[in-house]
Structure 1
Amino acid sequence: MKFQGVLFFPVTPFAPDGSLHEKRLAQHIDAGVAAGAGGVFVACGTGEFHALTPDELERATRVAVETTAGRVPVLAAAGGPVPVARDHAVRVARAGADGFLLLPPYLVTAPQQGLVRYAEEVTAATDLPAVFYQRGSVRLTETTAAEIAALPKVVGLKDGLGDLERMHRVVRAIRERDADFQFFNGLPTAEMTAPAYQGIGVDLYSSAVFAFAPEIALAFHRALAEADEARVNTLLDEFYGPLVTLRDEVPGYAVSLVKAGVTLRGLDAGGVRAPLVDATPDHVARLAKLIDHGLEVAGA
């Protein structure tokens, strides 16, 4: 399972009664794939994995699989305590996904060998390939990362820490043994750090912007791939930078603003579930202006 292009992390639309809106999720995913997504990561961080029931996770995965119909790979999230994460992995496999993104254990600070054991026990639950996600309290050394990467079902490592020096050592350690192993930049609004990650050999990244403005996300990705530094910098200065400023005003806006953006672009994704809060009308208005300007800069 190899990825290329912009990786799409869809939001999870909810109906007015708060339930999972499968039809709108299908519409959202279909539009993203048609726009050129290189892969779909459903019910992950942007998709409010933390707020979904196991049944909703399985249903969302099945919707993604049926909607993509084999056009691009589909992964969904698994995480939490080992028995729960194993159940997630089984459900994701049953729904037909191509793999899963393994999120860190919740509120646990573990020794390095414990993280290896966690990855080993969860990935053993199915035959699916897995991408290990380091973030929060999970900070792998290059030795641990190489040990996890050597597990038979682990095919990638996603970084949500932003420690480039540490990540560079991890990349070098793993690629000494496996030149095909895949690395992902998983920081919020990853485009802001994509040039830096590219410099250490990490070309893949998750794009939350793709969920509501694929035209902008694709324009940036093309500029980065073509080493068009002037265009990259213009998009960073005039769209992504201001978006990050707005995002950082309220905790959780890395999800809430994306969901608001999806609704602004014509698909009502509903609100976010607690403990997140919906973007305020003023912030939504600022987001709308940013999107309009970003589309103009992108030439869309």
Structure 2
Amino acid sequence: MTPIEFHGILFFPVTPFDDAGRVDLDVLAAHVGSRLPFAPGGVFPACGTGEIHALSVAEARSVVRTTVDVVRASERPGTPVVAGAGGSLGTALELARAAQDEGADALLILPPYLVQGPMAGTVTYVEAIAAASDLPVIVYHRGGARFTADAMVQLAANPKVIGFKDGTGDVGLAQEIALAVRATGRGDFQFFNGLLTAELTQGAYRGLGMPLYSSAAFAMAPEIALVHYRAYSEGDEEARLAALDAFYRPLVRLRDQTPGFGVSLIKAGLRLSGLPVGSVRPPLVDPSPAQLDELQRILEAGAAHVARVGGPTP
């Protein structure tokens, strides 16, 4: 199996819907294509930001296929495409096979639906999905899939398990897992910060030995996201904290007003920019008019910060 390496900010595209509520693949292609010039380290379609919880297998398949087609036809055809797979075991297995059929490079294994079994059962869930296709998998540690260090050591013995993404915020456990997996000698294993608006916590996660992070903000405002990433990757703490203060801290305050706004605000920001990505699907809800006004102010403040510091261009 050829190792997959991620270098750069990780892009989680939204799934656009048209006025009739159908997946809009043309808008998706435009959305993905417009972000590739900013050189994301990987593209993760049909995952959390892409509302995988609300997609059918057929819809997820079309989202992955469109994303793969756009990436392969771009000037960065080697950018890894990682598709989501999770929920009920039957659905997860179908999603895994569909992702392989459509040319994805890897899978992000999301938590099982509703139930939470013992650790041995959760490990078996991951192993079953890993066995369903030829694709390597990244384990997402959150919700009903919370792993111990021993469980991750067991999973790391499988060469198809190539990464661990933390979405719980338990930094002590995350540190324990990172140390335990590294002790196995898996030099190809990669660690990700998968918390909402991960930029706000990535300084701490880098200290844990988890240098990669998800960025839903990149989907909405790549210039702002890359100002933070540039400061982060260069070790410029003053510039990184300035980006957090100018944009991410107020965004998180707005995000925390309503459950699900980690996704809803990203789609709303894209609509404010002129890309017709549509609304979110239930059970998520769209921002109120007052919240949209606040989001607009936050985006304007972020753009002003980019102008002050000299933001990156594609």
- Return the TM-score normalized by structure 1: 0.98
Structure-1 residue corresponding to 2:106: 99
Deviation of residue 90 (structure 1)? 0.4
Structure-1 residue corresponding to 2:173: 166
Structure-2 residue corresponding to 1:149: 156
Q: Does 1:224 align with 2:227?
A: no
Deviation of residue 15 (structure 1)? 0.5
Deviation of residue 149 (structure 1)? 1.9
| Structure 2 residue corresponding to 1:25, chosen from 4, 24, 28 | 28
Deviation of residue 80 (structure 1)? 1.4
Taking only aligned residues, the RMSD between alpha carbons, in angstroms, comes to 0.9
Q: Cα deviations across residues 184-239 of structure 1 (Å, max 9, x unaligned)?
A: 10000000000000001101000011001101111101101111111111111221
1:45-194 correspondence to structure 2 within 5 Å: 45-69=48-72, 70-177=77-184, 178-194=186-202
CA distance in 1, matches of 2:279, 2:157: 40
CA distance in 2, matches of 1:223, 1:238: 14
Deviation of residue 54 (structure 1)? 0.5
Q: Cα deviations across residues 252-298 of structure 1 (Å, max 9, x unaligned)?
A: 11110000011112211100101111111111111111111112112
One-letter amino acid matched to 1:31 = S
CA distance in 1, matches of 2:105, 2:188: 18
CA distance in 1, matches of 2:146, 2:217: 26
CA distance in 2, matches of 1:261, 1:71: 28
Q: Cα deviations across residues 62-108 of structure 1 (Å, max 9, x unaligned)?
A: 00000001241111111112222111100111111111111011112
CA distance in 2, matches of 1:291, 1:228: 23
CA distance in 2, matches of 1:285, 1:207: 22
Q: Does 1:266 align with 2:274?
A: yes
DSSP 3-state at the match of 2:107:
strand
Segments of 5+ residues of structure 2 without an aligned counterpart are none
CA distance in 1, matches of 2:9, 2:86: 24
CA distance in 2, matches of 1:106, 1:247: 24
Segments of 5+ residues of structure 1 without an aligned counterpart are none
Deviation of residue 180 (structure 1)? 2.1
CA distance in 2, matches of 1:216, 1:149: 35
CA distance in 2, matches of 1:204, 1:253: 22
DSSP 3-state at the match of 1:42:
coil
1:268-283 correspondence to structure 2 within 5 Å: 268-283=276-291
DSSP 3-state at the match of 2:44:
strand
CA distance in 2, matches of 1:234, 1:74: 31
| Structure 2 residue corresponding to 1:5, chosen from 8, 29, 33 | 8
One-letter amino acid matched to 2:47 = C
CA distance in 2, matches of 1:71, 1:292: 33
Q: Does 1:14 align with 2:17?
A: yes
Structure-2 residue corresponding to 1:291: 299
Q: Give the length in aligned residue pairs.
A: 300
1:206-217 correspondence to structure 2 within 5 Å: 206-217=214-225
CA distance in 1, matches of 2:78, 2:26: 19
Q: Cα deviations across residues 16-49 of structure 1 (Å, max 9, x unaligned)?
A: 0000000000000011111221110001000000
One-letter amino acid matched to 1:124 = A
One-letter amino acid matched to 2:58 = D
